[in-house]
Amino acid sequence: MLIKKPSDIKPSEITPESVYKNRREFMLDGSKLLLGAAATSALPSVANAQNGDSLKARAPAAMRRSPPAAWWANKFQDIKPAPDSEPFFTGESLTPYEDVTIYNNFYEFGMDKSDPATRSGEFKTDPWSVEITGEVSKPGTYHLEDILKPVDLEERIYRLRCVEAWSMVIPWIGFPLADLIRQFEPTSKAKFVEFETIIDADTMPGIRSRTAIVSWPYREGLRMDEAMNPLTFMAVGLYGSYLPSQNGAPMRLVVPWKYGFKSIKSIVKINFRETQPNTTWNDLQANEYGFYANVNPAVHHPRWRQDMERRLPQTLFSRRVIETRLFNGYGEHVAHMYDDMDLAQYY
């Protein structure tokens, strides 16, 4: 995979520090922005909202999508802000909205980092449903609105570390995966949770590509204790508003102590299993992509060292390289799940 540098970001476009020093006020403002967006055709950028600017005039076509249904706006009116301390908040500088939404891996839209933003303009996320199967008391196909109705949305500011050795800091909006799992009452046989991404060849050009290396649908999985960990998050938004298509709309997984490919996007199926599921990258190249995919600076990928990372944004003249921490810095909250495991073997 070719690593390309993100678009140059002007200093004026970077989210002001003051915006997140008082996040409670920001989240209230973000709700107002979302409600305003429901009456227009463009998603406002928090980074530019203070200037009254919109991404519509300068964003790729994929970011000019119509806002979701009205119930989305209602759901976003009351979002619990992130606390002021770890693990649900990091004091590190946020990655600008433009980088978060334009520099992505989402191979259903193409192999290039810019493909998800430029080629997802026709992707439809409403209506949306999720199939629940396997070892649960309440299997079935559920509308997303019904899944989200009983949960409270909150903000989590997490580090995201890609196995390709770049990283971001993103303010997600969503809810603990554990809250979703409890809705469907897994049985005692449910030891793993398996996820699948939608296959929509009409609106996802990467699926139609003859050079695609992935066998669709994209599949990922977690052990049940990982899925129930308080850090594991189902994101439905970022930067105070709903998820853009290129970031995994309308609902994606976020597992901050694992490499980014574990955080599967645009989920349409959740299967509760007694046995460990096959996953896309592990099936494709098991010696490069383990099932667990915990961030580990001591275990290197054949093509990318994992002890250092490039924190985005970066330009030709400004590059920030930092040390990678075990479990992406979340070890205090997750290391106990792997006490009896050799992390070099179970990578």
Binding residues for Mo-molybdopterin: 104, 107-108, 162, 197, 247, 252, 263-265
Instruction: Give the C-alpha distances (Å, rounded to integers) separating 345 from 294, 341, 342.
Output: 12, 8, 5
Q: Residue 320 — φ and ψ, nearest 5°? A: -115, 115
Determine the distance from the C-alpha atom of residue 345 to the mean position of all C-alpha atoms in its chain, rounded to a whole number.
Answer: 26
CA distance readout (Å), 97 to 24, 62, 155, 186, 205: 19, 15, 15, 37, 24
Residue set of the binding site: 104, 107-108, 162, 197, 247, 252, 263-265
AA letter at 334: V
Pairing of strands 267-273, 321-323: unpaired
The CA distance from 23 to 83, in Å, is 9
Phi and psi torsions of 113, nearest 5°? -60, -30
Residue 281 CB contacts under 8 Å (≥ 6 apart), including other chains = 261, 288, 289
Reported residue count of the chain is 347
- Cα(234)–Cα(178) distance, rounded to whole angstroms? 9
Q: Are 234 and 137 in contact (CB under 8 A)?
A: no
Amino acid making up residue 287: N
Residue 203: DSSP 8-state: T
Place of tokens 């204790």: 225
CA–CA dist 114, 109 (Å, integer): 9
DSSP state of 327: G
How far out from the chain centre does Cα 156 lie?
Answer: 11
H or E element, residue 309:
strand 308-311
